[in-house]
Structure 1
Amino acid sequence: MRISKQRNMSRGKMTGWQSKGRVISVVYRAVTYALTPLIFLHVSVRRLRGVEHPTRWTERFGYPSSLRPDGPLLWFHAVSLGEGMAVLPVIRHCVHHHPHLNVLMTTTTTSAFNVIKDRLPECVIYQYAPLDIPMAVEPFLDYWKPDAAFFIESELWPNLILATSRRRVSLALLNARMSIKSFKLWSNIAVKPLMSSILSRFSLISPLSTNEAIHFQLLGASPFIINFAGDLKYAVGDSDIPSQQNVNMENLESSLASRKVWMASSIHKDEEAVILWIHKELAKTYSSLLTIIVPRHPQQGQQITEAVQREGVNVALRSQSKAVLPSANFYVVDTLGELKSLYRLSPIAVVGGSFIQGLSGHNMCEAAAAGCAVLTGPHVGHFSQMVQEMQRLEPLSVQQVAGKIELLDHLRKLLSDAKTLEDHRIAAKKAAFGLSRGVVQNVWNLIDIHVLKKHVQERDM
């Protein structure tokens, strides 16, 4: 009797919490509705600046540019390039093994759109995601009528998720992550009921780690919907490279054949100073050394080039030169979508976004899968889990350094000792293979059990 009473009290408590969530969601919806004219103006300005797609920007307001095919439709949504690349293997698996299912993919950024469009199977419909305002979300859902929706990592937009749930669409959060900063934000008593309401709509949450799982539960997710499958970013190394990109790399590969080469990838603003200092120190020993810099954002390429030239170092831009002349000491890649191909040309990869306080690293497994000796800085955020997993399998697979002095020491060892370099490259590839094996199938099994079958059961009720 006492247990029954406790359960009833718990249910009453939850009902009150959810009631608060509904009130907050109504207020949020009203506010975003009122802000629609300003949001439209903001997007229009971004379009004039070239940040939004010049012709397809209306998709951000729910206006489709493709026909919706007949039959069941699965919707995959990722905010940007990294998340979009992570879910590509799952989409390919779906298309290959379940051809009767239609697939819609949405992303938010132009960089993601430009890269991913060439990697999707032809049958997949690709659109920009609607903004989280009622006047964009409602027409989007009315037109596409998805049967299930899969959000990647941390895409928890209230209007989008609540409106999708009201249409009895099964929801899943894949590769789910919740940073400490986001957790503290959503734990605030003013907004926690809203997050609790959002999380209660999901049929499946597949978190990246136990810490993430705890965060989601503390914010109101049921423990029964939380299931582990592995990190989809491990499977990014398995993605195909467009054939045209391989052709574009041939001239570059031939010009690198006789040189000492290392690459700094996903470099953020101000990190180029670290890379330039490292290069100048290494060049004292290796006069023909070539340093490849791949900025996180291609528009930084020109700024980095000018900064390098001011130091009296010869530099070439990828957008202007497909090959590297012997006189060039730096090669700045100011193009999109070529990172994986570049990893295959460089024996050493230093993964950026990790050398300045406040940054949080980038995917190291992609470089490891290509056979690079992998190094990263001290600030890797949630990618610390990836570092630990890779080092657990193969201690030499990724080296996390404390700063530029330690980075310089590691690079000297790798460039001077062919055996050491080869050992690190082999270890990296083994770790990437071990961690990626079975991840996509694990994720799909969870989708099948917790989303697709549940949707069929609810539909037939």
Structure 2
Amino acid sequence: MFWLYNLLILLSIPVFPLIKLKSKKRGNVSLKNRLSSFVPPKARGRILLHAASIGEINTCKPLIETLKDRIAITTFTDYGLSRARKLFPEVPSRVIPLDFYPLTKSFLKRGRFRKILIFETEIWLSLLRSAKELNIPVYFISGKISEKTFKRLQKFKPFIFPLLSNAVFLAKSETDAIKARQLGFKETRVVGNLKFAFTQPEKVPLTVKGNRKIILWGSTHEGEEELAVKTHYYLKSKGLNPLTIIAPRHINRKIPTPPSQTTFRSQTKVVEENVEFYVINTIGELSSLYAYCDVAVIGGSFVKGIGGHNPVEAAAWKKPVIVGKHVESFEDVVETLQIPKIEASQISETLKKLLSNEAERENLAEKIHKNYLKQKNVLEKILKAIGESD
């Protein structure tokens, strides 16, 4: 069956241009690079980390930063490769070769990799077989197995069992670990979700004049700024005196706030009492600015098609956090932290209740932060499990 799989891989090569056209969401897949087993000279003898695309590279950032002098990166998409090279120009990287046995065997032989780290659950059968034959240890880090994936893999368990029996599964949760054990992984261990590996930065300067409650809308998208403005005026009508800080995900977009009531981070770090909206049009400061808010609202979650953004940065500052219903990309993080998911129509009343009740704000912040503390050492657990802790 392994050779039938490779035959199907071989036969898929002529349709790669079609795959490229259909893969816009995850980025392009370069056929030329996928058919090469070239290994950058600097990558040889290193640890190989495979992370599929942009989101996976972003999540792996703390791990890559820790291991950057001893790691090489492969991605599945050209977009992921571009992101890896932008963040880590000093780390050798390339797209992963097509999962065709002669290619993967040649690639791993040339690379002489000490070990292979696979983020989440990218199961490539030829890669796993090649690693087993070359005695290269394989670790699935921050591993997850959805119910759909589990059912599909169970059908091929007799076929994949010999390949998985050489791999260690470092699971996000006990649920994922149980599935991994049933599939036949050599060893399973719960280490947690790498998305929790956040290093809290130093506070950047900000002075807000007047006795005001601060709402920070982080990483907002089109449609969410309008919601923030509408909510702001609702809270004003109820006798509250909020300052609404808006940090758009893309800073060059025009934000629909009244010019006479708005000031920008690039212009000043002091917010006067007559300012209603403070727009963060600078890069790299959002995670620090969460330190100043009374409530954090995470964007990308009140409109469809985005999937939300990481709430860990706000949780680390011990802030009450709320998100919208559309958090598909961070569902596991939101559930673990027990962050309330709110409909857009409920946001005004929810914020009114939180801003009017200090005890309720503190209780929510305490609960979320406590859950965060249980998870924050995930990077240390992963490094220890793969034998790379100093």
Tell me the TM-score normalized by structure 2: 0.72
Q: How many residues align?
A: 378
Distance 1:222 1:313, change over 3 A: farther
Deviation at 1:75, TM superposition (A): 1.6
Structure 2 residue aligned with 1:331: 279
Once the two structures are superposed, residues 261-307 of structure 1 have per-residue CA deviations (whole angstroms, 9 ceiling, x without a partner) of 32233445655554444334234345662231443xx38x52xx36x
CA distance in 2, matches of 1:418, 1:340: 23
Deviation at 1:151, TM superposition (A): 1.1
Matches within 5 A, 1:168-179: 168-179=135-146
CA distance in 1, matches of 2:36, 2:261: 47
CA distance in 1, matches of 2:164, 2:154: 18
Structure 1 residue aligned with 2:72: 104
Once the two structures are superposed, residues 393-444 of structure 1 have per-residue CA deviations (whole angstroms, 9 ceiling, x without a partner) of xxxxx3x13423443333223333455444544544343223324x333323
Q: Which has the higher helix share?
A: 1
CA distance in 2, matches of 1:76, 1:358: 28
Matched, 1:370 2:332: no
Once the two structures are superposed, residues 96-136 of structure 1 have per-residue CA deviations (whole angstroms, 9 ceiling, x without a partner) of xxxxx822244553784377439xxxxx6242433646698
Q: Which has the higher mean CA deviation after the structures are superposed, 420-429 or 402-411?
A: 420-429
CA distance in 2, matches of 1:415, 1:274: 17
Deviation at 1:447, TM superposition (A): 1.9
User: Contact 1:62 / 1:139 at 8 angstroms: preserved in 2?
Assistant: no
Matches within 5 A, 1:61-72: 67-68=41-42, 72=45
Distance 1:212 1:426, change over 3 A: closer
From 243, 253, 263, give the equivalent of 1:289: 243
CA distance in 1, matches of 2:229, 2:247: 10
Percentage of pairs with the same residue: 21
Structure 2 residue aligned with 1:447: 386
Matched, 1:261 2:184: no
Deviation at 1:73, TM superposition (A): 1.5
SS of match in other structure, 2:121: coil
Structure 2 residue aligned with 1:226: 188
Structure 1 residue aligned with 2:349: 409
Distance 1:138 1:403, change over 3 A: same
Paired amino acid for 1:331: V
Once the two structures are superposed, residues 189-229 of structure 1 have per-residue CA deviations (whole angstroms, 9 ceiling, x without a partner) of 6xx579936962651112222332344456xx215422212
Structure 2 residue aligned with 1:348: 295
Tell me the TM-score normalized by structure 1: 0.63
User: Contact 1:356 / 1:379 at 8 angstroms: preserved in 2?
Assistant: yes
Matches within 5 A, 1:48-63: none
Once the two structures are superposed, residues 72-114 of structure 1 have per-residue CA deviations (whole angstroms, 9 ceiling, x without a partner) of 411223235554454444456657xxxxx82224455378437
Matches within 5 A, 1:126-205: 126-130=92-96, 132=98, 141=108, 143-157=110-124, 161=128, 164-165=131-132, 167-183=134-150, 186=152, 192=156, 196=160, 200=164, 202-205=166-169
Deviation at 1:173, TM superposition (A): 0.8
Q: CA RMSD in A?
A: 4.7
Distance 1:104 1:270, change over 3 A: same
Distance 1:183 1:416, change over 3 A: same
Matches within 5 A, 1:432-443: 432-437=372-377, 439-443=378-382
CA distance in 2, matches of 1:350, 1:64: 45
Matched, 1:23 2:4: yes
Structure 2 residue aligned with 1:113: 84
Deviation at 1:340, TM superposition (A): 2.2
Paired amino acid for 2:172: L
Paired amino acid for 1:263: L
Paired amino acid for 1:290: T
Distance 1:339 1:332, change over 3 A: closer
Matches within 5 A, 1:212-223: 212-216=176-180, 221-222=183-184
Gaps of 5+ in 2: none
Distance 1:36 1:377, change over 3 A: closer
Paired amino acid for 1:27: L
Distance 1:68 1:270, change over 3 A: same
Distance 1:411 1:199, change over 3 A: farther
CA distance in 1, matches of 2:317, 2:293: 9
SS of match in other structure, 2:381: helix
User: Contact 1:324 / 1:331 at 8 angstroms: preserved in 2?
Assistant: no
Distance 1:66 1:414, change over 3 A: farther
Deviation at 1:161, TM superposition (A): 4.9
Once the two structures are superposed, residues 124-155 of structure 1 have per-residue CA deviations (whole angstroms, 9 ceiling, x without a partner) of 62424336466986776465331211011233
Matches within 5 A, 1:238-249: 238=199, 241=201, 249=204
CA distance in 2, matches of 1:37, 1:316: 48
Distance 1:382 1:42, change over 3 A: closer
